[in-house]
Amino acid sequence: MSRTSQKSQIPTRTDACRVFFPLAALYGALAGSLSVLAMTGSSWPAGLVGTGHGREMFFGFALALVSGYLLGPLSRRSLLALAGLWLAARVAAVALPSSLPGQLLSPLFALILGALVIPRFRHARKWRNKAVMPLLGAIIIMPLLWLSAVRMPLAELGALLFASLMLFMGGRLIAPVAAGAFRERGLHLDARVQPRLEALMLLLLGAAVVTLSIPVTRAASGTLMLVAGLVATIRLLRWCLWQCRRPDLWAAGVGYGWVALGLAVFGATLLQGTGQRTALHLVTVGGLGTLASVVMARQHYQRQWKRPPPALLMLGMMLLMTTATLSRLAADIVSGVRVEALWLAAVAWSVSLVWLAAHLLLDVPNSRVMATAGPERTHPV
């Protein structure tokens, strides 16, 4: 083979998921344990004290997931620069949250990410796909709002925005895979994307974001979230995932269910005027943790091996994330076990994500070929 032809086969672009998914999993595992350390009396790291752990869940873990899922192939220089900026933002935000880098690097990364991914949805043919643009835009400006210390329920808004994104992403993942699983068994699934329910859900959640941002209409946002949670539950039940012999679908369904339940509980607590902490953890630990893990594992194995993730990995992560969610709820509502429940939740969460990261980093058949592989189209662009 000539030297010229050899050079032509060297990949010049690498899919962002190859870098950002392992970063998301490893950072999520580390931040989860460090957050409990900060919450149980050490006050270290400073950036994870108080609302800091929620900020890092959204701007660290979740934005790395979004980056890997939506950026697609990039030049190696651009990808390394973005990953380096994300990593520098995380170190600064956790170790030196009051410093200039600790305050500015996260918004800078978010703005660059938004500039790269949001314009891709302009050419979407359906308004439901174009609705991702304002959703992503709202997520992108969240670090700026956090920096400005604006008087808004930022943790609740962050949870609501990422819940909306996970319901959209989860639905677009589950629907075609469930239809294929039914087809393999000689069956037919009528309820796939369910566009009317998806449209209703997006409208309800969009209205909930607006009303939650305005003090005088926050009670109305409770009703909207409660109804959105019920709509999401109906959509999930219509997929009949219990009839599929696919652990990855079961895990995705569990994550989707946690988000739906979290929205409903969130809405109910707003209507009752009680604390929303429990509902937030249903969405973040149960929903975001489980669905994000499924998204990363499925995309990795589809691109690397053209097959679903290993059943043991899916079932193990589903069990560990469920343990983490229930333990985190117990820390909020069961007296006398807060510290123990927090550590159990952190251990289960971290073990699940480290296990996933090991698969993402080590289970790679041929890095030269896979670096040029095209993305699996589970999201509209």
Q: Among 322, 165, 171, which Cα is nearest to 238's?
A: 171
Say if 378 falls within a structural domain: no
pTM of the model: 0.91
Say if 2 falls within a structural domain: no
Average confidence (pLDDT) over 291-314 = 95
pLDDT tens digits, 81-139: 999 999 999 999 999 999 999 999 999 999 999 999 999 998 888 888 888 899 999 99
Whichever domain contains 161, its CATH number is 1.20.210.10
Residue 365 has pLDDT above 50, yes or no: yes
pLDDT of 11? 59
Say if 337 falls within a structural domain: yes
Say if 1 falls within a structural domain: no
Say if 5 falls within a structural domain: no
Report d(CA 205, CA 199) in Å as an integer.
10
Report d(CA 1, CA 132) in Å as an integer.
46
Say if 375 falls within a structural domain: no
pLDDT tens digits, 241-252: 999 999 999 999
User: Which phi and psi (to 5°) does residue 14 adopt?
Assistant: -125, 135
Q: Among 258, 259, 263, 239, which Cα is nearest to 249's?
A: 239
- Of the chain, the percentage scoring pLDDT greater than 90 comes to 77
Enclosing domain of residue 84: 12-370
Say if 6 falls within a structural domain: no
Say if 129 falls within a structural domain: yes
- In this prediction, residue 379 has a pLDDT band, given cuts at 50, 70 and 90, of very low
Burial class (CB in 10 A: 0-12, 13-18, 19+), 282: buried
Q: How many domains are there within the chain? A: 1
Give 4 or 183, the one with higher predicted confidence.
183
- On whether the CB atoms of residues 262 and 287 are closer than 8 A, the answer is yes
pLDDT tens digits, 72-91: 999 999 999 999 999 999 99
DSSP character for 13? E
Tokens found for residue 45: 């790291």
- On whether the CB atoms of residues 280 and 262 are closer than 8 A, the answer is yes
pLDDT tens digits, 184-239: 999 999 989 999 999 999 999 999 999 999 988 988 999 999 999 999 999 999 99
H/E segment holding residue 14: strand 13-15
Q: Among 223, 228, 157, which Cα is nearest to 199's?
A: 228
Q: What is the DSSP string of 61-121?
A: IIHHHHHHHHS-EEEHHHHHHHHHHHHHHHHHHHH-TTSHHHHHHHHHHHHHHHHHHGGGG
Give 42 or 266, the one with higher predicted confidence.
266
